[in-house]
Amino acid sequence: MQGLTLVGSGWHPLLFRAEIQALTGPIEVISPRVLYVPLIDSTLERLSRAALLDEVISDSGRYWVNPKASQEDLCLNIAEWAHKHLPEGSFAVRTRRLGVGIPGFSRSTIDKKVGSLVASESRPVDLETPKNVISVVISGPEDGPIHRDDIGQNSPIVVWGLSHPDWQRESYSGRAPTERPFFQPVSLDPRQARLLISLAHRRTSETETVIDPFCGTGGIAIEAALQGFETLASDLDPRMVKGTLENLASFGAEATVEACDVSGIASLWGSRNGCAFVFDPPYGRSSWTSGKDMEPFFEALSASHKIDPQGTLSTMLPTTPEALQMGANEDVEVMGMPWKELEPMIIERGWRPVLRTPVRVHSSLARMVVVCHPSD
């Protein structure tokens, strides 16, 4: 079966892999930031939703770097591949490095050498507006990763192929919280909002509706609506409802937005299928030490399960910066309590956590990304 090689963002390789797996199903991990996925009819459409995907490469080749490997041999391998797979027309070679790269392998040298080996009358080099691009990725160890990645680093490898002409990285230009008409300091970054939506996908079922019961300034609603999902958003504060509608209108996006306490969303939206419940709970109040503080979160879990017992749930919860250095199985503090105490409370309300990993917001603030599937 044909497949695609995917290159991910260095911000959070673990979440990149989780996002692609949620969107496409089984993945082959070539290196922490390089994956291979089967190509079926819906693959590119699903990949268009990804937040942490940097590049899509087709007809790819691989070169494992061992003690006998050399840059010269690599260039000969790429040239041999190009004679079979590169369509006629102008082309350029563009090499990028992941992490610290691989000693003895230079981006500029590979670009020039491969270009000279492949160039012909029917395939001229054009560095400005090439018809085709040979993308070369030198994947070495990460250089001080921002987030812990428990799979470690595979052997150094170089992958290459045709930069896919039908895929383009999403631009978030103009969508930053500070660029929207209505802004509040705790607004969610658009890429993180899109990531939460992607993580809520399941390969076995199609998401039809995205529901956010704590819409705030509308970050999640905007990203869901721009992707064409039915989008239902609500907030207890009428000012947030008005601001979300204003922000949606500024992007030409449509959603249903209502003023409603989280305890009332099941009555508001009714019973549905194909739902992804995606939210960033209101925790500007940095302490979650009382039961009253946590009640909106628990009500969101119960109401979401009532709306669609077979849906999915994706959220970001407050945690401590220490969580960034802790292993996946260590008992971190989330929402002011040990995870081993919080997890059973989530399960009791109909949801089973399938992913839990921290993300750094800044030096003194971290959040825990939690994705849940139905527990029954």
DSSP, res 131: S
Q: Which domain holds residue 201?
A: 177-374
The β-bridge relationship of strands 209-212 and 230-235 is: parallel
CA nearest neighbour of 148 among 322, 324, 19:
324
Q: Residue 152 has what pLDDT? A: 64
The answer as to whether 172 is a domain residue is no
Q: Which two tokens stand for residue 128?
A: 């400005």
Same domain for 51 and 200, yes or no, is: no
- pLDDT score of 288: 47
Q: How far apart are CA 251 and CA 253, in angstroms?
A: 5
Burial class (CB in 10 A: 0-12, 13-18, 19+), 77: middle
What is the pLDDT at residue 194? 97
Q: Are residues 368 and 239 in the same domain?
A: yes
Other CB atoms within 10 A of residue 335 CB:
21
Q: Is the same domain home to 15 and 89?
A: yes
Tokens 């490095």 belong to: 97
Q: Per the domain annotation, does 42 fall within a domain?
A: yes
The pLDDT, as a whole number, for residue 1 is: 62
Angle value at C-alpha 194, between 361 and 34, nearest 5 degrees: 85
State which of 163, 191, 223 marks the end of a domain.
Answer: 163
The DSSP bridge pattern shows strands 337-338 and 333-334 to be antiparallel
Report the C-alpha gap between 365 and 290 in whole angstroms: 20
Are 122 and 190 part of one and the same domain? Answer: no
Helices (H), ranges, the chain: 13-24, 43-47, 71-85, 107-118, 190-199, 219-226, 238-250, 265-269, 291-307, 339-348
CA count, 13 A, side-chain hemisphere, 40: 9
Strand 209-212 relative to strand 157-163: parallel, antiparallel, unpaired? unpaired
Q: Return the closest-CA partner of residue 242 out of 211, 218, 277.
A: 218
Domain for residue 147, yes or no? Answer: yes
Q: For residues 292 and 298, what is the distance between their CA atoms, to the nearest angstrom?
A: 10
Pairing of strands 28-31, 91-98: unpaired
Residue 289, classed as helix, strand or coil, is coil
In a shared domain, residues 128 and 182: no
d(CA 273, CA 254): 20
Of 163, 191, 214, which residue constitutes the final position of a domain? 163
- Give CA–CA dist 307/302, Å, rounded: 9
Phi, psi dihedrals of residue 240, rounded to the nearest 5°: -70, -40
Give the integer Cα–Cα distance in Å for 300 and 220. 16
Look up residue 217 and give its amino acid. Answer: T
* The amino acid at 205: S
Q: pLDDT value at position 286?
A: 44
Instruction: List per-block mean pLDDT (blocks of 10 residues) for the chain, which spans 376 residues.
Output: 91 95 94 93 91 96 92 98 97 94 94 98 97 96 71 82 90 91 88 97 89 97 97 97 97 97 97 97 57 84 98 95 83 92 97 95 85 94
Residues 154, 203 share a domain: no
User: Are 279 and 317 in the same domain?
Assistant: yes
Q: Are residues 75 and 200 in the same domain?
A: no
Residue 134 lies in a domain: yes
Query: In the Cβ-directed half-sphere of 277, how many Cα atoms lie within 13 Å?
Result: 32
d(CA 170, CA 49): 8
108 in Cβ contact with 75 (< 8 Å): no
Q: Residues 319, 285: contact at Cβ < 8 Å?
A: no
Which pLDDT does position 153 carry in this prediction? 62
If asked whether residues 42 and 113 sit together in one domain, one would say yes
Largest CA distance in the chain: 73
Indicate whether 337 belongs to any domain: yes
123: domain CATH number is 3.30.2130.30
Q: What pLDDT, on a 0 to 100 scale, did the predictor assign at position 331?
A: 87
The per-residue pLDDT for 285 is: 43
For residues 244 and 219, state if they share a domain.
yes
Residue 12 has phi, psi (to 5 degrees) of -155, 85
Pairwise CA distance, residues 222 & 248, whole Å: 6
Report the number of distinct structural domains present in the chain.
Answer: 2
DSSP SS3 for 224: helix
Taking only Cα atoms into account, the Rg of the chain, rounded to an integer number of angstroms, comes to 23
Which of 112, 141, 163 marks a domain boundary? 163
The H or E element spanning position 69 is none
Q: Are residues 186 and 335 in the same domain?
A: yes
Does 183 fall in a domain? yes
Is the pTM higher than 0.85? The answer reads yes
CATH of residue 299's domain is 3.40.50.150
Q: Which amino acid appears at position 286 of this protein?
A: S
Residues 210 and 122 in one domain: no
**141 domain-assigned:** yes
Residue 171 lies in a domain: no
% helix, strand, coil for the chain, step of 5? 30, 30, 40
